[in-house]
Amino acid sequence: MKRILVADSPKILLGVTIDYQLQYHSGLPALLVADGWDVHVVSGPGQRIEELRLVPGVTAHIIPMAREPRPMSDVMSLIKWVRLIQLLRPDTTLIGTPKAALLGNFAAQLFRVKRRIYLLHGLRLETSVGIKRSLLRLIERVTSRMAHETLAVSASLRQLAIRSADIRENNILVLGAGSCNGIDIEKYRTSVLNLDQKRSLANTIKLDPTIPTVGFVGRITKDKGLTQLAGAMRLLYSRGVTVQLLIIGPIDGKSGTAAIAELEGTHQAVIATGYREDPAPFYQLMDVFCLPSLREGLPGVILEAMASRTAVVGTDATGIVDVIEDGVTGLVVARGSDEELASALETLILSHARRDALTENAFDMVSVRFNTPRVQGLLRDFLRSRHANRGRRPFPATAAKSAAGV
């Protein structure tokens, strides 16, 4: 039952930097509306924010923001944030991603929003050095201090934030097993391709179904560890193990272009499809999914691969260690070790039985710990409890009935 918004509904504002990042909150605005909130969402321009305008009870606001530091542009974005917070006067803000969190939390603190929550998705400082690392550390410290609490998307990210970003230990927490949105298990359970459909999809992207496929999904950039993947591909070639690489995702800057060139020089076939709105069918073309990242928050692509019953290999990076139990739900290798990554990939490519055992364990784990209703339910309950603890206006009775399914 959809809730009818009433005048005294508590007001919440969700924010991210760019439209693409709204996928981190897929379905959450509608859930919060049903729970009694007057929901407002902020992001840069794009298709997702426009689609949210069609969701009853949700108001979408567009504030263009640059991901990288751009002083003049950042000042203009901050002015728009200040004006919006002044106009809305939300009871609660839940803002994530670096630029939106910095600007949005500043504006929310300026107007003394009663419950300010910083959603920490990852730490860029982990792979930065020198002055840039110091600047990023300062930004994280300031952003977290402007919020009442920080929600980290994984336990290992929480520990890194305490250790490296000077975020107070008693002011940062993880809900459940982590994640901010979970994975739609039913989508993957009910969308299994048959053999003909797999062959047809493979043909459209010129993938050879007779050659083992190692897959990668994500932004193509140096922090994703693609140099290590290229080294592993060369080692596999030298061992006489022929594979093909299926790369799904957009090229992110010069480092992404260089990574593709390096992968194409490994003597293994590379099929790069570019960005795909829905990568779900492509996991079913992979024998092994590989994420050799140097840093993560909590990698949704690994959850997607597990939900697709595709065997996974990942590095011991922040976030990845929270979702892969080595030898149980996947294989974990050391960051930067081409040799370890090549051996792990070779093991799974050559052993169908090993892949099957890992994928069943992984599917069971992700179904229980990271299913979307569980993850979103924990966040919904957290937001409701924090609102109540601040002594704010109660949820209207109609919302309580709607949340109970009355």
Query: Domain containing 113 — which CATH number?
Result: 3.40.50.2000
Q: Which domain holds residue 265?
A: 186-369
Q: Are residues 167 and 247 in the same domain?
A: no
Vertex 281: Cα angle to 277 and 285 (nearest 5): 130
How many domains does the chain contain in total?
2
Beta strands 213-217 and 244-248 are: parallel
User: Does some domain include residue 50?
Assistant: yes
Q: 215: closest CA among 308, 287, 315?
A: 287
Q: Do 130 and 225 belong to one domain?
A: no
User: According to the model, what pLDDT value does residue 396 have?
Assistant: 58
Pair (217, 204) in one structural domain: yes
Q: What pLDDT tens digit does each residue of the chain (406 aa) get?
A: 344 455 579 999 999 999 999 999 999 999 999 999 999 999 999 999 999 999 999 999 999 999 888 999 999 999 999 999 999 999 999 999 999 999 999 999 999 999 999 999 999 999 999 999 999 999 999 999 999 999 999 999 999 999 999 999 999 999 999 999 999 999 998 889 999 999 999 999 999 999 999 999 999 998 999 999 999 999 999 999 999 999 999 998 888 999 999 999 999 999 999 999 899 999 999 999 999 999 999 999 999 999 999 999 999 999 999 999 999 999 999 999 999 999 999 999 999 999 999 999 999 999 999 999 999 999 999 999 998 765 555 555 444 333 333 2
Strand spans (E) along 51-201 = 58-62, 92-96, 115-120, 149-152, 172-173
Q: What are phi and psi of 315, to 5 degrees?
A: -85, 175
Considering the domain boundaries, does residue 3 fall inside one? no
Q: How far apart are CA 353 and CA 358, in angstroms?
A: 9
The rounded distance, in Å, linking the Cα atoms of 406 and 401 is 5
The answer on 246 and 328 residing in a single domain is yes
Residue 44 and residue 33 in contact, taking contact as beta carbons nearer than 8 Å? no
Q: Are residues 79 and 219 in the same domain?
A: no
Residue 214's SS3 state is: strand
User: How far, CA to CA in Å, does 302 sit from each of 30, 103, 153, 247, 277?
Assistant: 25, 30, 14, 14, 17
pLDDT of residue 48: 96
- Same-domain status, 383 and 350: no
Instruction: Burial-class residue 385 by CB neighbours within 10 Å (0-12, 13-18, 19+).
Output: exposed
Q: Is residue 84 part of a domain?
A: yes
CA 354 to CA 346: how far, in whole Å? 11
Domain contains 1: no
Q: Are 146 and 105 in contact (CB under 8 A)?
A: yes
Q: Which of 62, 61, 58 has the alpha carbon at shortest distance from 29?
A: 58
Q: In the prediction, which pLDDT does 30 show?
A: 97
97 and 195 assigned to the same domain: no
Q: Looking at the domain assignment, is residue 273 inside a domain? A: yes
| Residue whose C-alpha is closest to residue 193's, from 308, 276, 279, 284 | 284
Q: Which helix (H) or strand (E) holds 403?
A: helix 397-403
Co-location of 377 and 328 in the same domain: no
- Same domain (yes/no): 233, 382: no
pLDDT of residue 403: 35
Asked whether residue 42 falls in the same domain as residue 82, the answer is: yes
Q: What dihedral angle (degrees, nearest 10) is formed by the CA atoms of 314, 318, 322, 323? A: -30
